Copies of this chain bind each other. A is one copy, B any other.
Amino acid sequence: MKKLKFAVAGLGRIGKIHLGNLCQMEGIEVVAAMDPMEEGRQFAKYKNVPHVVTSFAEMLTVTPIDAIIICSPTDTHADYVEMAAKAGIHVFCEKPLDLSLDRVVEVLDTVSKSGIKLMLGFNRRFDKEFRKVKELVKNGAVGEPHLVKITSRDPGAPPVSYIKTSGGLFLDMTIHDFDVARFIVDKEVEEVYAKGAVLVDPAIGEVGDIDTAVVTLIYTDGTMAVIDNSREASYGYDQRVEVFGSKGMVQSNNNFMDSHKLYNEQGIHAALPLHFFLERYREAYMNEIGDFAKSLENGNATPVDGNDGLQSLRIGLAAMKSLKENRPVKISEIVPLP
């Protein structure tokens, strides 16, 4: 069987995970990797990647490539995707494509014309918990969904320097929840109302962002969703979803370090949730790359596409506008339309 030839662009934390996963998968060979930093390139060499280079452009030329995994900084995504599209190479790109809606529309247009497949890295869609909830909702186990509740809290805030360029809470962190909200019930969002506050760290407020938020979403059919976020949950990574409908309710819980229960005079004690996304979504990262590879092999659509990235970005921009103006904002107010 011919193996798919993969390349990885960007070998930071998430790039290393994808590279490690690719190396374990059958039917795939990693033929190239790029990173401007020596440390990242060392990692690729250790993994026996034959072509390890310092620039994206160089990588496109050294060897034939079927697909590229883009894990470089956000501000390179749009350019790299366009370069790959022009070279006819399929792309898996970490979200977001870009923080500018205009630029995203432009890139998707290029992608569309090129005929390549583009998949966005919304990893939570490949987590067994979220998948199970979606499957049950889809099968009618809760009847007509009335209300979606998403809790999404990080164990600690990233450095303020990162927050400054990340697009802020809604585009950097909540964007995953916007995607989950769309994914779980397969509906589009029409209106957003966002409230936020700086309750964790004043320094986050000083750079114009918030660290705590409650966002109400109204889908086009009137179904409602509520997302709550915090940059700092003292007890670890908190990722839960609940869908309430006409015939029932389904909840998914966190994944825990272990299942022990200790009973003593003080009470009953149990282990905390898995610490952060690398632990909680370890299998999800493996699954998403596997599903991307499968869609290349069988020619089907990727399970997440450019439009998914676009829609979540539009919800995020609407949330930012809502927060600023303290009023509900229609998604249709966010122009240009795609």
Contacts and interface: CB of A to CB of B under 8 A. Distances in A.
Interface of A: 24, 128-129, 132-133, 136, 141-144, 146-147, 149, 153, 193, 195, 197, 199-200, 212, 214, 216, 218, 222-224, 226, 228, 230, 232-235, 238, 244, 246-255, 257-272, 326-328
B224 A250 contact: no
A224 B212 contact: yes
Given A216-B216, A234-B264, A268-B235, A224 B251 contact: no
Contact of A248 (B141, B214, B262, B326): B262
A32 B326 CA distance: 54
A136 B234 CA distance: 16
The 4 closest A-B pairs by CB, nearest first: A248-B264, A253-B259, A235-B263, A268-B270
A135 to B, nearest CB: 9
Nearest to A141: B262
Given A247-B264, A250-B263, A253-B260, 8 more contacts: A146-B199, A146-B212, A153-B244, A233-B249, A251-B261, A266-B269, A268-B271, A269-B269
Could you say how many copies of this chain the assembly holds?
4
Contact of A234 (B222, B253, B265): B265
21 contacts: A142-B264, A143-B234, A146-B199, A147-B228, A195-B218, A199-B222, A199-B246, A212-B224, A214-B216, A214-B224, A226-B226, A233-B249, A235-B249, A235-B265, A248-B265, A249-B262, A249-B263, A253-B260, A268-B269, A268-B271, A268-B272
Contacts of A234: 143, 246-248, 263-265
A144 B230 CA distance: 13
A224 B249 contact: no
A259 B193 CA distance: 30
A193 B325 CA distance: 14
Contacts of A129: 258-260
A22 to B, nearest CB: 13
Nearest to A133: B260
Given A133-B260, A268-B270, A230 B146 contact: yes
Nearest to A259: B253
Given A153-B244, A193-B193, A230-B147, A260 B265 contact: no
